[in-house]
Structure 1
């Protein structure tokens, strides 16, 4: 991995605050499946990304592909943009939170 890839890996680890097991469990919920942009009525982009994130989290650093690193950059960008759009009030049961969780980040997690 290049230095830039190492930076991406660190940013990804900061952005994704859910463990692979937590994310897998979340992706099985109705709330997870109901949010996000769906292509042709199928699985949402975020839900598909969540499954990919689980795989990336379980991959050894040396085994990450360029495609994995590219997806990690996409995740960092998504999480960063959406955190900046935090709604006011209680976010516990909001589509905003659920969407972020599909991307591996639970903004309610302490």
Structure 2
């Protein structure tokens, strides 16, 4: 596992880039997975990574596993690669926005 200082920095960065609450993310995962005829069970909706992010948001830092830490690094890296802080996201970039929202980052949120 990572040392305490590195884990603290990761925890803060993860919660900075994951700007959706656990309730917002859970609702988004259900909506994004809903089909024309059925909606998935709440704890089965969304991608595995989206579900893992949701689980991390509901944990205390002291309860993190090595797998949680790996997912946190992946999410921070993904958001950092796909979001340009210099340019405001365009609302018409719907597909990109929705992909980021499945991991808890809404680029249109302030």
Q: Place the TM-score, normalised by the shorter chain, in its bin.
A: 0.7 to 0.9
Secondary structure at 1:28's aligned position in 2? Answer: helix
1:90 offset after TM fit, Å?
3.3
Counterpart of 1:10?
A: 12
Structure-1 separation of matches of 2:89 and 2:16: 24
Secondary structure at 1:59's aligned position in 2? Answer: coil
Task: Please give the root-mean-square deviation of Cα atoms over the aligned residues, in Å.
Answer: 2.6
Structure-2 separation of matches of 1:2 and 1:89: 34
How many residue pairs match? The answer is 97
Counterpart of 2:76?
A: 76
Label 1:88 to 1:107 Cα distance change in 2 as closer, same or farther (>3 A): closer
Counterpart of 2:23?
A: 21
Structure-2 separation of matches of 1:88 and 1:60: 32
Unaligned regions of 5+ residues in structure 2, if any?
35-45
Structure-2 separation of matches of 1:89 and 1:19: 20
| CA deviations over 1:47-83 (Å, ceiling 9, x no partner) | 2211111100101111111111111010000011111
Partners of 2:89 and 2:107 within 8 A in 1? no
